[in-house]
Amino acid sequence: MIFTVAIDGPAAAGKGTISRAVAEAFGFAHLDTGALYRAVGVKGGDPVLAAQTLSPADLARDDLRTLEAGQAASRVAVIPEVRAALLAFQRRFARRDGGAVLDGRDIGTVICPEAEVKLFVTASALVRARRRWLELGGDAAERSLEDVLAEVQERDARDMNRTDAPLKPAADALMLDTSELTVEAATARAVAQVQARLAQMQG
Q: Which residues are annotated as a binding site for ATP?
A: 9-17
Rg of the chain over CA atoms, in angstroms?
A: 16
For residue 119, the number of C-alpha atoms closer than 13 Å in the C-beta half-sphere is 28
Query: How many CB atoms within 10 Å of residue 31?
Result: 23
Asked whether the beta carbons of 176 and 186 are under 8 A apart, the reply is yes
| Spatial separation of the C-alpha atoms in residues 167 and 67, rounded to whole Å | 19
Q: Can you say whether residue 134 is alpha, beta or left, with left for phi > 0 and alpha for psi between -120 and 50 degrees?
A: alpha
Asked whether the beta carbons of 51 and 40 are under 8 A apart, the reply is yes
The binding site comprises: 9-17
Facing residues of 5 across strands? 101, 117
User: Cα–chain-centroid distance for residue 11?
Assistant: 8
